[in-house]
Structure 1
């Protein structure tokens, strides 16, 4: 039951937002304190806080004499109403269910599996080239039956084929969308993209490139959607079988002759093989390094390990600097074999932990897959060198477009940017395998791709930095103006520190100015104080100047920003609540003064 009065079913470990829901009562907007009730005649209904019936979920009117009713959320994810006659020793029978399609509950078939209705029963099937992780346990999902290697063969040809899966629907978490294209072009585009694991061809023209795993799949015969999956080619053994058969058919005399000659040739062959092995492993080993610079991920989605020499070659000797921040310097590079442009970050003042610990941290970061997180492609742990390889973002950082009059996005676009950033942080806090606290949320760490989609970068790096790695305060990780107050009070630092930093940045996104500007009058120099004063005075138009904005959107962003920047961490909302407030799905209370809690003390 949501705080807006809507009764909704979501799969576990997903955001509580519309795209993930598979059942809803449709009573959003009814406010807090809505309750679910069941009458003796089997009527299931919702009451608001005044006792008014806002919706009947079931019609009721079932027999009441010596009969009892039960509402239940079953293991298959469907909400049902059961009835049982007590005098006839009858069994429980379902008289109503939230859906008649047992494939509707999302997540039923686990990762990389999809649901098919057969004789009114749900059956799970794996993607082409996949099998169930545990037979008999659909929710465990499916895994590959082939090794995921470099997507380019030795002769430059693709080592994969594209398998089609028609009339299926999946959760769209595409990292790239091609429009006005054909099915064949979509398959070829995914085949040539080392980061593409599958693609969804929708509406007969859109190609949505995806990484694995695919989620919430189900067959819908009324849908024209097509999924194309990259599958490894099986190794053919036909030639070997034919050779064995041919040898078995040789005559006895010819066999003896061949065996006799083999003894002579064997000695020569051994010498030749030994020479080849020595040559390959002592000479060609050095030549193989440049040819292995693809950025394909292995089957557990771990980033690839580079040598320092490789990254020196990729960046042309670290020649082109494209950014510098509290974590280190960033250089532009090009992987020669794929012509893929990457960003190489050279870390400074990292902890002197062992190679295994550093690799483990990199694998944790590398396993994060979200459209609003910068993708870690690889890393380097070579003696004292620590470097990271990221996907390259052509539009720079959020700071580059936000504080530039020429590149500045319009207000609705800025609101959508803020929502997308919040989605990325929600994933780090609540949805990835290991919870990650960013510790340095700011516009400079939000990268913008070619379609102006924001991606959170530098997440997870705080754990491998020395305590003095900061621009301002010893022992504090972060940047002046964005650091939460608890850093200064020796209080435990939680995910609420990121909420504070996001709130400061949200106000910057709203007003298109930096959080501290000494060139402005004293009462406007500190952004949070000025915004709160404008909010109290009811004069929030001053925050956006002459820009025409929708009042409700401006009010929403300002109130969320003020809630996030409260001094007391426990009063700040979670990032999931922040996202719901920005999306307008929950009501936002009037925020208190950012310092009112400590002033009262």
Structure 2
């Protein structure tokens, strides 16, 4: 018995020793070529679960758990220096430390303790030969000819790393938490034109709207990638950049969608991660940051008025007689038998994350109809209604957090609730001791209800009138603080506000004037942080001036694009009105193009044309709502260092809703750049800007105004004694002006493009390059707006991603009329800069047809400032 027991002890000791000797497996470097390979965390515990490392030792393939005390293990790729997991296979089905990763000729798979496959690659066209972990962190399955069968870069989880591409249609999906890698509710998707963050299908952030993002092209997006200089959305190849976000150069970086819903971009420096960006930049814009119906304000969560915190999370109605409805058919039906639907107001200056990204369910309706739409929709849980616009936004299926709006909002939010009657007897009738419900007004007799409603209405009317009478005489900076200024102060979306004294000090009491326009003068200034600014003083204090001022500061303050002048702030103190812009040290395009000075080279002109087109394309289709500039001209195209181009004064345009886009008829613009539809009954649209851009493009080609003074020429524009053909020329001095758009049309018909180029270039441009700009310009100035290209298409034609259009001569014949009228005006009235455009005034709105006759209209008697507005 004793001998047998001793033998068993010896055998057990030997067996356990052999286990210890085989626990630790070798760490494979670069690749595993042994098929039928199996690994577990327990087997490779000495390597922290890692069984494969990249050649540079920066990445490892491992079976690991997020925290040492957790029993959930994942097959992952980690960034070894930081221990950060950048990819995981079985994120939705974790295994134990004895679960296995198996590599065979058919697949790579993850198997749990019971032998069930919880994750696996699909079948391939050929057998697997090896598993390789590249130096950039990509886990790849290769066949016998070293061709890729599968790779982790094409199957991302919540992270992409330096060099990895995220194609259109693919997504990053957040984890539930930092210790639970299961797929969460937040998704980052790459679309054909943008990068979007979504929660339960609702968009809450767009890359194109980020202040630091630059839109460089309107070509279709192919993929997103992080490289050594930033985050990029590329077109069909890496030579076409659609959107980019530049950051400090770095060695290793990741973009990660966190479990809390923010997309972060960070780089590894030394031994720590440095976060460069986190989107959305507003913490409260994250959909579920404060749980259901939680109110987020300055990163602090609370409950809206009329709600309190629930033990289950989020906020619920404070009144016990109210409950949030369910869309379960049977439950909802039973609830409605004993209750009424009502709506709890979320309070003033409260907004919802998705309102800025979704279309209203209905436009131009009153609150009652909006609520009725929600009542009839079982999945509707709440709504937002625009007081002035009448836009009705329905919150369906899910309720996220709401957020406080510091600048105010025109929308009011309501949550749908069920109002229950208490103490009901089994027969469904109310007992004598029933408590009065919150919406007991429905039980009041109609006559009493109407009387009560009248009293409340009169009370509100008296209170508002009394408040206005008290505030109407308040003082602000020595001027009258009128009700109109009160409206300005509460205007939504205002940028930084400056005091008058700050701007007076910045401009040295408005010492240096750098420009002027119809509404005021522009001065150069320096802010305390040493940044240069252009301060526009608004002189007109009329009703129209205030309206334009409010529109400009509210719209421009929200618009950010590399080719649009940024509004840094404003001042509204007493009767003083100022706009503070970023300073453009090269001035406006007309100075560089038309005045004596260094000649703009052709590439510089092309870059200016492309930058201007990109800015206009963003106004037309990249903003939350369409913006039409209405005064595109060289004076409103500003230049900065390296001739970076930015469009100014677009805040004077109308901000159009889809319904309004064909109804805008107020006359605005500058003669010489006005599209024909300004003088007809044709609707004004974004194609009006396209026409003006085409006229500017012709001036960029020629280097002079389309209607200009006689100058010494190289022969093309010289006088001819044979008829009125503007294209006829001899050598010598011009003795009459030439209407250049007509000349461009005629040279296009003859294929003589090089002769249209600025003679000061002295042959430093090819005919093909001139042809490209001339054809684009002529397409832009077609008489019929419908056949003009969009500005997005113009950008594509200039970049080469869209075929350059062929101008339709039949839609350009009106230029021949313009040319004749211009010649007659210059001969009979004498030629000067003021008269150069006067002939545009002498055509009746009906005369744009080929059979029309000439006549004067009221447009001829408008001054330049009346027509153009501020510049």
TM-score calculated relative to the size of structure 1: 0.52
1:596 is matched with 813
1:538 Cα offset (Å): 1.6
Secondary structure of the structure 2 residue equivalent to 1:515: coil
On the 8 A contact 1:447/1:455 being kept in 2, the answer is: yes
User: d(CA) in 1 for partners of 2:749 and 2:263?
Assistant: 45
User: d(CA) in 1 for partners of 2:495 and 2:169?
Assistant: 27
Are the structure 2 counterparts of residues 434 and 123 from structure 1 closer, same or farther at C-alpha, using a change threshold of 3 Å? closer
Unmatched 5+ residue regions in structure 1? 1-59, 63-94, 127-131, 144-164, 174-197, 205-214, 236-284, 287-299, 465-473
Give the counterpart of 1:571 among 787, 790, 807: 787
2:248 is matched with 201
Give the counterpart of 1:551 among 761, 767, 776: 767
Are the structure 2 counterparts of residues 431 and 360 from structure 1 closer, same or farther at C-alpha, using a change threshold of 3 Å? same
1:170 is matched with 231
1:383 Cα offset (Å): 3.5
Are the structure 2 counterparts of residues 430 and 125 from structure 1 closer, same or farther at C-alpha, using a change threshold of 3 Å? closer
Alpha-carbon deviations, 1:505-550, whole Å to 9, x = none? Answer: 0111112111111426572611101111111122111112333213
Give the counterpart of 2:748 among 525, 535, 547: 535
Unmatched 5+ residue regions in structure 2? 1-123, 127-149, 161-165, 189-195, 208-225, 235-244, 252-261, 283-297, 299-475, 478-491, 656-664, 712-717, 720-725, 727-736, 815-847, 852-871
1:588 Cα offset (Å): 2.1
Note if 1:457 corresponds to 2:648.
Answer: yes
1:399 is matched with 590
Are the structure 2 counterparts of residues 573 and 348 from structure 1 closer, same or farther at C-alpha, using a change threshold of 3 Å? farther
Secondary structure of the structure 1 residue equivalent to 2:671: coil
Secondary structure of the structure 2 residue equivalent to 1:140: strand
1:310 Cα offset (Å): 2.9
1:407 Cα offset (Å): 2.5
* Larger relative contact order, structure 1 or 2 (CA cutoff 8 Å, min sep 6): 1
2:501 is matched with 309
User: d(CA) in 1 for partners of 2:537 and 2:169?
Assistant: 40
1:5 is matched with none
Give the counterpart of 1:581 among 793, 797, 800: 797
Note if 1:369 corresponds to 2:563.
Answer: no
Q: Give the alignment of 1:339-358 within 5 angstroms.
A: 339-349=530-540, 352=543
1:403 Cα offset (Å): 1.8
Are the structure 2 counterparts of residues 96 and 528 from structure 1 closer, same or farther at C-alpha, using a change threshold of 3 Å? farther
Q: Give the alignment of 1:146-295 within 5 angstroms.
A: 169-171=230-232, 200-202=247-249, 228-229=276-277
On the 8 A contact 2:754/2:771 being kept in 1, the answer is: no
Q: How many residues align?
A: 369
Alpha-carbon deviations, 1:119-144, whole Å to 9, x = none? Answer: 99899799xxxxx998767953499x
Are the structure 2 counterparts of residues 381 and 490 from structure 1 closer, same or farther at C-alpha, using a change threshold of 3 Å? farther
Q: Pick the structure with greater CA Rg.
A: 2
User: d(CA) in 2 for partners of 1:172 and 1:587?
Assistant: 22
Are the structure 2 counterparts of residues 543 and 203 from structure 1 closer, same or farther at C-alpha, using a change threshold of 3 Å? farther
User: d(CA) in 2 for partners of 1:580 and 1:483?
Assistant: 24
Alpha-carbon deviations, 1:438-469, whole Å to 9, x = none? Answer: 111111111111221000001121459xxxxx
Note if 1:509 corresponds to 2:700.
Answer: yes
On the 8 A contact 1:402/1:509 being kept in 2, the answer is: yes
1:365 Cα offset (Å): 1.1
1:584 Cα offset (Å): 1.6
On the 8 A contact 2:797/2:804 being kept in 1, the answer is: yes
1:357 Cα offset (Å): 8.9
1:476 Cα offset (Å): 3.0
User: d(CA) in 2 for partners of 1:172 and 1:451?
Assistant: 24
Secondary structure of the structure 1 residue equivalent to 2:646: strand
CA RMSD of aligned residues (A): 4.8
Note if 1:436 corresponds to 2:621.
Answer: no
On the 8 A contact 2:230/2:248 being kept in 1, the answer is: no
1:314 Cα offset (Å): 2.1
Q: Give the alignment of 1:49-68 within 5 angstroms.
A: none
User: d(CA) in 1 for partners of 2:184 and 2:167?
Assistant: 10
Are the structure 2 counterparts of residues 326 and 530 from structure 1 closer, same or farther at C-alpha, using a change threshold of 3 Å? farther
User: d(CA) in 1 for partners of 2:669 and 2:186?
Assistant: 47
TM-score calculated relative to the size of structure 2: 0.37
On the 8 A contact 1:109/1:216 being kept in 2, the answer is: no
User: d(CA) in 2 for partners of 1:357 and 1:141?
Assistant: 29
Secondary structure of the structure 2 residue equivalent to 1:201: coil
Are the structure 2 counterparts of residues 359 and 487 from structure 1 closer, same or farther at C-alpha, using a change threshold of 3 Å? closer
1:427 is matched with 618
Are the structure 2 counterparts of residues 433 and 565 from structure 1 closer, same or farther at C-alpha, using a change threshold of 3 Å? same
